[in-house]
Structure 1
Amino acid sequence: MNRGHIRSHDILVVKDGATTGKVSLVREDFPFQPAVVNEHVCLCRPLQRLYSPYLFYYLFSEEGQKRILENFQGSAQGGINQQFAPNVVVPIAPIGEQKRIVTQVEALLTQVNASRERLARVPAILKRFRQSVLAATYSGRLTAEWREAQTDLEPASVLLERIRKERKANLGSRYKEPVAPDMSELPEIPEGWEWVQLRSVSDIKGGVTKGERRREGLITLPTPYLRVANVQRGFLDLSEIKTIEATTKEIEELRLLAGDILFNEGGDRDKLGRGWVWENQISDCIHQNHVFRARLLDARIQPKFISWYGNSNGSQYFVDQGKQTVNLASLSITKLGELPVPMPPTIEQAEIVRRVETLFALSDAIERRVEAAQLRAKSLTQSILARAFRGELVPTEAELARLEGREYETAEMLLERIQKMPTQEKQPSKRRSE
């Protein structure tokens, strides 16, 4: 089978679809032989006396891509045909200059790609850094020295007892004594900390059910609400907020307040329990039934401390306790309430949040700088190619010839010589593009 057979130095061009115009050079080390192209790829085989990598880099450049796509026909799934080639004008340099340009381009792109590879490793490093910060947080290591320097630190047990008494007084006969978490598999925590169930320090509530049938004549109002898509791990995505019809009573009961901790009830198993803290970004916003909110019973408890725990150390609890259906997993309000949470003294919680926010702000700043550097590296590739094909990257053949006092073959002379060559010498294959 010879039609479309791939050889070294061929240039492949995507003909259709979203990647129309994308190009690739078949190098000497191409491992798949024999190989052919299918109907979605144009195979371009440069004439003899032309340097294939030079043509490839031009077609890969922004200018080359623009010239290819000028031949695009059809809708979004349209493309180009074999006739694009005569319409793409390529700036041809003398053969020696072509090779010097390619050598310099590849040397510079090797450096750029090495930098991009190093930058690509940074996000994973930052992710591990954040994980290590949280691991140190909930083991007590993050504030170990700070804790030793304190002389009058009120243990968490005092706060928990105060909450217990207040709840008992407020709830009366409806009050139930808090249940201590099962300590058998929980890690050790510092002296003065306590393991508690989330429901012992917060009021947990589900949200409004979408599409719920209501009594005829009941007045409802369009109300902004949070969906699972809005509640991400460690942040809220409020780029798209939808509204739902809700009664005045529902709005009053479900209105989110600053400091409410949000937890996702359903979705993929590894997303159960993910969430973040509400900060009153939207007035009179409520939440749907697939998002739980936990409202802390004491203002001195730090909601971010609880939410970070649920998103890190506590995430395995949600995976283990989630109920799996055919397509989705879900978390019951009871299981969320039983989440074991380490509770430091309130003053230490505030110090922990301050330290974690400082460290996270540092990692966020590094991440932003890396993203900016990645964009610069991406644009640098095209900047190098643009300079190359403007004749600014290496000395031109004309300049070198003048310096060395010699004659040289101009690009025009090269093309004339190619035109005069017998057809079989011009192109090693009967078909230049398939």
Structure 2
Amino acid sequence: MNAERLLQHYEQIADAPDVVARLRQFILDLAVRGKLVPQDSKDEPASELLKQVAAEKARLVKAGDLRKPREISDGNEIVEPWLIPSNWQWARLDAVGAVVGGGTPSATDASNFAPPGEGVPWLTPADLGGYPDLYISRGSRDLSERGLKASSATIMPKGTILFTSRAPIGYVAIAANPISTNQGFKSIVPYVADCSNFIATAMKAFAPQIDAKAPGTTFKEVSGKIVAGIPFPLPPLAEQHRIVAKVDELMALCDELEAARTERETKRDRLAAASLARLNTSDPETFRDDARFALDALPTLTARPDQIKQLRQTILNLAVRGKLVPQDPADEPAVELLKRVQLRKPRGRKPTPRIDSRDAPYDVPTTWIWVSLEQLVICGPQNGISPRPTTREDAPKAITLTATTSGKFNPAYYKRVEGKFPPESDFWLSEGDLLFQRGNTLEYVGMAAIYEGPPHTYLFPDLIIKVRVSDDVDLSYVHLASISPSGRRYLTENASGAQATMPKINQTTLLSLPIPLPPLTEQHRIVAKVDELMALCDQLESSLTSADKTRKKLLDALLAEALAPVDAVALQEAAE
């Protein structure tokens, strides 16, 4: 084990997303490969231990303390997955312990069960979910004697390794006393009790591979035959004890690393939040310096690209509150702009009253006014179509919700649909259409995007509402106001069926969306500043993502080197 190299680069990998979990698995992998503790030539070799195991197995069967295990070998020799020390021995798992299943009596008969402590201890996989200890004495309920007899559950001795074989695969514990399980376990009763802790350690190491190879998709389960046939690397008994002690020691260190990482992340989150709060209370005159401070500080304060989302939301929040760019007293007030918009609205559209300042979500600069989206719309709202999908390559394209989920139109997401639509049909999207998701999860319902693409190329679906706003306002500003924190909050809070899987907004709700409207020239300045800052966010997000990939690559190389030495040049490249 090249621990020196791992420690040399630890500071570079400490922020890898799953570093502690990977280190825990690494320790287990070393343990079952004979690379965790030195071998001792004085140890009795595992070949002798196997003889003791076989003799004890025969004795238990003869004495009636153990039912003769079912022979489930397929007759093939063991395929050795890796090299092990010369004094170790490969064996099938069922050669070192009996593989035992479980059972469940009828749940409709309450007399089959007993409160914990009043019957036969009995476990289900759920009892091990989140269970922090190695040893377990019983689950959330016991079996009654009646329930035990009415099921295939078996009482297994203290020291049995309890391994969940479904829902999910891979929980491991050791019985602290005689115990039984349901059919969600394939437990191992060791023939030599002193092997119990090492077998448990090995099963933890094997769990990810067992789960990966288990049949099934939505409900995976591993059979007793598969568990019994697992190639098992058996060390001398004395070395087993040293390995288990070293694993315990190193797992305790991992606990400390995890706690330190959590504390570090908590402090970083607080500092990042304080940096963003400084932006939210910033003076427009000093905003540029404050924004630069936040953008410069965040790479130090976070190693997670997802936190950049908070910065993006802060920028949008400032933009629609008049805090992103300074106001210019020479700008035409928004109230005059609105008059012009109303005068040029198509005939037949009913005039919409202004939002009373007393009902406004928050205060805005004196040159701004609050309006509803309806006051800016000149066409729409219009719901899309619900045609049948088709595999015909010459059929029309209709965008899917995913095309607008990010807030920016993505033409890659569409499906072919049946139907004929003339060029003049309003169901074709045109440059400048503003699209809102009428239905989606609560996180995305009401999300908006501007259609940027050629005409007569894409249709839009029934779960999207299309509007067009007046050319007298900046479409990009109306869009960013719609996806700002206040805009998103209004639409999600007014979606119907907010607790369902797909809440929806209707056209009335959409047209009532409050928009803080600045003077037109300020709208242009705001959009330009948002574009500039979002580009910086993109750069920062890209650098963090790249750093994550570099950390992962280095971690992979370091762990691989310890298990199977790799090219030193490749390792050096990963570290640079």
TM-score range, shorter chain: 0.5 to 0.7
1:362-377 alignment runs, 5 A limit? 362-364=536-538, 366-367=540-541
1:253-332 alignment runs, 5 A limit? 253-267=426-440, 271-280=444-453, 284-298=457-471, 301-303=474-476, 305-310=478-483, 312-319=485-492, 321-323=494-496, 329-332=503-506
Partner of 1:340: 514
**1:347-373 per-position Cα deviation (integer Å, ceiling 9, x unaligned):** 322332333344444455555565666
Counterpart selection for 1:13 from 156, 163, 167: 163
Partner of 2:380: 204
C-alpha change, 1:222 and 1:207, in structure 2 (3 Å) is farther
Q: Give the letter for the 1:13 counterpart.
A: F
Percent of aligned pairs sharing the same letter: 19
Alignment partner of 2:375: what SS? helix
The answer to whether structure 1 residue 99 and structure 2 residue 245 are counterparts is yes
For 2:559 and 2:259, how far apart are their aligned partners in 1?
Answer: 14
- 1:180–1:197: 8 Å Cα contact kept in structure 2? yes
- 2:397–2:459: 8 Å Cα contact kept in structure 1? yes
For 1:363 and 1:44, how far apart are their aligned partners in 2?
Answer: 53
Alignment partner of 1:314: what SS? helix
Unaligned runs of 5+ in 1: 213-220, 393-434
Partner of 1:165: 343
The answer to whether structure 1 residue 132 and structure 2 residue 317 are counterparts is no
C-alpha change, 1:193 and 1:308, in structure 2 (3 Å) is closer
Partner of 1:192: 367
1:111-150 alignment runs, 5 A limit? 111=257, 115=261, 122=304, 125-143=307-325, 146-147=326-327, 150=328
C-alpha change, 1:249 and 1:4, in structure 2 (3 Å) is closer
- 1:58–1:389: 8 Å Cα contact kept in structure 2? no
C-alpha change, 1:260 and 1:391, in structure 2 (3 Å) is closer
Partner of 2:5: none
- 2:437–2:465: 8 Å Cα contact kept in structure 1? yes
C-alpha change, 1:23 and 1:326, in structure 2 (3 Å) is closer
Alignment partner of 2:510: what SS? helix
For 1:315 and 1:74, how far apart are their aligned partners in 2?
Answer: 40
37-46 or 286-295, which moves further after superposition? 37-46
C-alpha change, 1:358 and 1:57, in structure 2 (3 Å) is farther
Unaligned runs of 5+ in 2: 1-119, 125-133, 137-158, 270-303, 389-393, 567-576
Counterpart selection for 1:241 from 407, 414, 417: 414
Alignment partner of 2:453: what SS? coil
- 1:272–1:331: 8 Å Cα contact kept in structure 2? yes
C-alpha change, 1:42 and 1:272, in structure 2 (3 Å) is same
C-alpha change, 1:268 and 1:73, in structure 2 (3 Å) is closer
TM-score (norm 1): 0.65
The answer to whether structure 1 residue 154 and structure 2 residue 327 are counterparts is no
Alignment partner of 2:449: what SS? coil
TM-score (norm 2): 0.51
C-alpha change, 1:285 and 1:114, in structure 2 (3 Å) is farther
Partner of 1:431: none
- 1:71–1:84: 8 Å Cα contact kept in structure 2? no
- 2:172–2:203: 8 Å Cα contact kept in structure 1? no
**1:102-155 per-position Cα deviation (integer Å, ceiling 9, x unaligned):** 534653575367548866975775444443333322221222xx32xx463233
Counterpart selection for 2:182 from 38, 47, 54: 38
The answer to whether structure 1 residue 87 and structure 2 residue 230 are counterparts is yes
85-94 or 332-341, which moves further after superposition? 85-94
For 1:162 and 1:334, how far apart are their aligned partners in 2?
Answer: 24
For 1:263 and 1:165, how far apart are their aligned partners in 2?
Answer: 26
C-alpha change, 1:36 and 1:319, in structure 2 (3 Å) is same
**1:243-302 per-position Cα deviation (integer Å, ceiling 9, x unaligned):** 334444366423223332211223556654222222228961121233112222217504
CA RMSD of aligned residues (A): 4.6
Q: Give the letter for the 2:316 counterpart.
A: L
The answer to whether structure 1 residue 24 and structure 2 residue 172 are counterparts is yes
For 2:248 and 2:562, how far apart are their aligned partners in 1?
Answer: 9
CA shift at 1:230, angstroms? 3.9
- 2:376–2:469: 8 Å Cα contact kept in structure 1? yes
For 1:123 and 1:301, how far apart are their aligned partners in 2?
Answer: 30
Number of residue pairs matched?
A: 367
For 2:438 and 2:221, how far apart are their aligned partners in 1?
Answer: 43
For 2:208 and 2:498, how far apart are their aligned partners in 1?
Answer: 48
Q: Give the letter for the 2:417 counterpart.
A: I
